[in-house]
Structure 1
Amino acid sequence: MDPITALLDDVLDEIAPQDAGAPADYIPELAAADTDRLAFAVVGPHGRVRAVGDDAAEFTIQSISKPFVLALALQELGRERVLARVGVEPSGEPFNAISLEMGTGRPANPMINAGAIAVSSLVPGGDVDERTARIVETLSAFAGRSLWVDEAVYASESATGDRNRALAHLLRSHGVLEGEVETAVEAYFRQCSLLVTVRDLAVMAATLAFGGVNPLTRRRVIDERVARDVLSIMGSCGMYDFSGEWMLRVGLPAKSGVSGGLLAVAPSQFGVAAFSPRLDTHGNSVRSVLVVEELAERFGMHMLESHESVAVPAVALETVEGGRVVRLGGELGFAGTERVVAILRGMGDELPPGATVTVDATGLGAAHPGAVVALQAEFETMPEGFVLLV
């Protein structure tokens, strides 16, 4: 196990004994979840997935689908047409509340159920199957692999989804909902029932982190401006009526789901995801929140911290007798480590026999502990002739 994965494992071990909360009981299939499951994953700019815990466990994406379906609508229709149907203000209310704007009937934002149903109704498609296919195609592109619907969970959600149908009828009465209520609601239930792993969610988060380009496949999924819009809304609304405290404590755009998943985005750095089925009163996973909060603290991830350079330190190259010296300056973040290592590996391919490359990190103005650990770990795999000064 490399040192970074070991660090993630330590965080997981620290949080694992927490047993507060309970799985969602209003959807029978979710109520039967294995509450001992716990997983965490991180994906950086070069697509490397580091995962610990039950990272192969599948669960349904639930409300974490909302920002990605919003991205699809924004990409296809543009900001103005989408905002004509849904607002972008925090509701300060639970995810299933009737939070509609006075006079227009617009839902408060796309992260609550009413807003997500309105957004799903905008996705092109003449019936449930066509609309679902378009949603599945887009979310699969974000994940970097084909996703599919858990039919048992879908049936359970549809059978118990009267409140969401009521919200859809309210939206239709205000002229907000496009198309038939049943088409919109059933497509929404199906998008929430897509099966994912914590590794998938971390890749999806990283795709948003890097401006809409999937770091695993290198495919552009959405435009950079669309990714920015989605992250802006996640930052203020993604954790429901816990969003303000989340931004204070963690400081990252995030989205949770009632199956226990949680993803968070460090823009231009990496995507993270966690999974644990027990929920708090807000509908957020208790242990997932704690895991991401702890990692944010250890890695200095809060996006409002003072940074000289979020992603890349200054790099100065000097040729000396017997080899080269690489001097690092400014700030070294987690993503910056991966970029520095990419430069060094390129130099290693051209290194003459007997030559050395000395990487002098003593001039860094700031270096997050996790980034230093990552750099040291990478040096253990470097060819002979590489020396690190810290």
Structure 2
Amino acid sequence: MKSPIPFYLQKILDSVRGNKDGAVADYIPELAQANPDYLGIALCSTTGHIYAAGDAQQRYTMQSISKPFVYALALQELGLDAVRDIVGMEPSGEAFNELSLNRNDHRPVNPMINAGAIAVNQLINGVDSTVEDRVECIRSYISRLAGRELEIDRNVCDSELEHSERNLSLAHMLRNYGIIQDDAHDAVLSYTKQCSIAVDTRDLAVMAATLANGGRQPITGEKILDADVCRLTLAVMASCGMYDGAGRWIAEVGIPAKSGVAGGLIGTLPGQLGVATFSPRLNAEGNSIRGVEAFKQLSADMGLHLMSTENRVGINPVREVEQNDDVAVIHLQGHINFSAVEAVLHQLREYDLERSQVALDISQVSTLHKVGRRLLKEGLRRLREEGAEIAVIDPDGILTDREMSDGTLVPLADAEDYQIAGQSIL
């Protein structure tokens, strides 16, 4: 059975595709040449399952999306106290390229604005590091997060350096106040190369999932960051990651996120998944317009909002799978939201369910979130297309809407109809 999740992600893209508002980042000539119609999305679970749709393999540069990851590296290398000596953790309420400094000690107010990110960049590999060694340390680390070797886009980097007066002025002020020790031009060079690392949307989803997974890369299994480092990074992303739109973001979408002016946008749901979108048209705050709209839909559909009072999945949603030569019965349990149904669908793909009858027992399911319901029905429909006779065991009427995407209804069955003397495979 093919997973219906990429189909669901494509529907999200289709719903936002018609929005032509905003414009590409024209203050960087190389970025100004971007195709404004690119649109991609990817999702990676903390168990390492990747789903994507649209232009998810189109390459672009990380830009400010690199900031939380490099901040996490600084925390990992030096600890919170040393990092907090040079950058704060408070929202600025100002644009990303403003000189937002604390009044008493002149530290940048947070690491998600340019001034803070330049200061954090200078901590990597030690304050005495050469530009080349610092950049290689960052590039190598970002590659480990993505699970493959990444490279710097030299054309974008050179284009940005030719128009870096604003960042140079920030670096000169940081040096004047003793926040950074390096030459201002070297500091901006190192920071610009950091921002010019090229990725695709699948890479970003995996990297976001690594933060969600407490620092363990979900595909390679490598432990890259401590869990406390991820917690601190996600907290700063939640309050500062969307610049002067951060308050609206946390209220409307409700997940830690970070945007980049190349059109990328990442979001992280701790313990569950990482999501990334790509669409180059930006709003006045420098955030991808269609990316923001896609995230709003994902949050509403999937119940991702951190402040949601709905139950969270805390146990394996597949309680048991029984089967004999003719019948397979999948017993589910608990709250079935997007993360739970993703696990269910993936597990079902792993089992040999080439049976003439497949029944889904939801008698032990407490609640069924709307996107969980939609994807479960689509999974059943696809099993039927492959030749199986499908049914749902639902004595409490949890499946309130039984209509599938083709207009037919999910058949119901009694548990007694599926009392099989087969072998449990869980």
TM-score, structure 2 as length reference: 0.84
Q: Secondary structure at the match of 1:51?
A: strand
Percent identity for Structure 1 against Structure 2 = 43
- Name which of structure 1's ranges 377-386 and 111-120 shifts more when overlaid on structure 2: 377-386
Q: Is the 1:45–1:338 contact (alpha carbons within 8 Å) kept by the matching residues of 2?
A: no
Whole-Å Cα distance in 2 between the matches of residues 354 and 48 of structure 1?
25
Whole-Å Cα distance in 2 between the matches of residues 6 and 52 of structure 1?
8
Q: Is the 1:311–1:334 contact (alpha carbons within 8 Å) kept by the matching residues of 2?
A: no
Q: Is the 1:117–1:184 contact (alpha carbons within 8 Å) kept by the matching residues of 2?
A: yes
Shift of 1:178: 3.6
Equivalent residue runs for 1:93-132 within 5 Å: 93-124=94-125, 126-132=129-135
Shift of 1:179: 2.8
Residue in 1 aligned with 2:422? Answer: none
Residue in 1 aligned with 2:138? Answer: 135
Residue in 2 aligned with 1:18? Answer: 19
Equivalent residue runs for 1:61-80 within 5 Å: 61-80=62-81
Residue in 2 aligned with 1:81? Answer: 82
Q: Is the 1:62–1:259 contact (alpha carbons within 8 Å) kept by the matching residues of 2?
A: yes
Q: Which amino acid aligns with 2:173?
A: L
Q: Pick closer, same or farther for the CA change 1:144–1:18 going to 2, 3 Å.
A: same
1:330 lines up with 2:331 in the alignment: no
Q: Is the 1:123–1:131 contact (alpha carbons within 8 Å) kept by the matching residues of 2?
A: yes
Residue in 2 aligned with 1:195? Answer: 198
1:171 lines up with 2:169 in the alignment: no
Equivalent residue runs for 1:227-306 within 5 Å: 227-306=230-309
Shift of 1:225: 0.9
Whole-Å Cα distance in 2 between the matches of residues 272 and 245 of structure 1?
19
Q: Is the 1:45–1:335 contact (alpha carbons within 8 Å) kept by the matching residues of 2?
A: no
Shift of 1:98: 0.9
Give the paired residue count: 387
Q: Which amino acid aligns with 1:281?
A: A
Q: Which amino acid aligns with 1:107?
A: P
Shift of 1:180: 2.8
- Name which of structure 1's ranges 121-130 and 314-323 shifts more when overlaid on structure 2: 314-323
Whole-Å Cα distance in 2 between the matches of residues 173 and 359 of structure 1?
66
Q: Secondary structure at the match of 1:216?
A: coil
Q: Which amino acid aligns with 2:45?
A: G
Equivalent residue runs for 1:207-222 within 5 Å: 207-222=210-225
Q: Pick closer, same or farther for the CA change 1:311–1:288 going to 2, 3 Å.
A: farther
Shift of 1:329: 3.4
Whole-Å Cα distance in 2 between the matches of residues 27 and 318 of structure 1?
55
> 1:330-363: CA deviations, max 9, x gaps?
31122223444566678x57x9x99998542143
> 1:148-188: CA deviations, max 9, x gaps?
00101101111111111111111111111143322221110
Whole-Å Cα distance in 2 between the matches of residues 192 and 52 of structure 1?
25
Whole-Å Cα distance in 1 between the matches of residues 111 and 136 of structure 2?
20
Residue in 2 aligned with 1:52? Answer: 53
Whole-Å Cα distance in 2 between the matches of residues 184 and 372 of structure 1?
51
- Name which of structure 1's ranges 204-213 and 73-82 shifts more when overlaid on structure 2: 204-213
- Name which of structure 1's ranges 282-291 and 357-366 shifts more when overlaid on structure 2: 357-366
Q: Is the 1:312–1:333 contact (alpha carbons within 8 Å) kept by the matching residues of 2?
A: no
Equivalent residue runs for 1:21-36 within 5 Å: 21-36=22-37
Q: Is the 1:201–1:272 contact (alpha carbons within 8 Å) kept by the matching residues of 2?
A: yes
Q: Pick closer, same or farther for the CA change 1:197–1:318 going to 2, 3 Å.
A: closer
Whole-Å Cα distance in 1 between the matches of residues 37 and 355 of structure 2?
53
Q: Secondary structure at the match of 1:328?
A: strand
1:364 lines up with 2:365 in the alignment: yes
Q: Which ranges of structure 2 fall in alignment gaps of 5 or more residues?
A: 394-398, 400-426
Q: Is the 2:62–2:196 contact (alpha carbons within 8 Å) kept by the matching residues of 1?
A: yes
Residue in 2 aligned with 1:41? Answer: 42
Shift of 1:215: 1.4
Whole-Å Cα distance in 2 between the matches of residues 354 and 293 of structure 1?
39
Q: Pick closer, same or farther for the CA change 1:314–1:16 going to 2, 3 Å.
A: closer
Shift of 1:55: 1.4
Whole-Å Cα distance in 1 between the matches of residues 223 and 98 of structure 2?
35
Q: Is the 1:312–1:332 contact (alpha carbons within 8 Å) kept by the matching residues of 2?
A: no
Q: Aligned-pair RMSD on alpha carbons?
A: 2.7
Q: Is the 2:356–2:388 contact (alpha carbons within 8 Å) kept by the matching residues of 1?
A: no
Shift of 1:312: 3.3
Q: Is the 1:312–1:335 contact (alpha carbons within 8 Å) kept by the matching residues of 2?
A: no
Q: Is the 1:95–1:240 contact (alpha carbons within 8 Å) kept by the matching residues of 2?
A: yes
TM-score, structure 1 as length reference: 0.91
- Report which of the two structures shows the higher radius of gyration computed on alpha carbons: 2
Q: Pick closer, same or farther for the CA change 1:314–1:276 going to 2, 3 Å.
A: closer
Residue in 2 aligned with 1:162? Answer: 165
Q: Which ranges of structure 1 fall in alignment gaps of 5 or more residues?
A: none
- Name which of structure 1's ranges 4-13 and 333-342 shifts more when overlaid on structure 2: 333-342
Q: Secondary structure at the match of 1:363?
A: strand
Whole-Å Cα distance in 1 between the matches of residues 243 and 346 of structure 2?
39
Q: Which amino acid aligns with 2:256?
A: P
- Name which of structure 1's ranges 332-341 and 177-186 shifts more when overlaid on structure 2: 332-341
Shift of 1:277: 0.8
Q: Pick closer, same or farther for the CA change 1:161–1:70 going to 2, 3 Å.
A: same
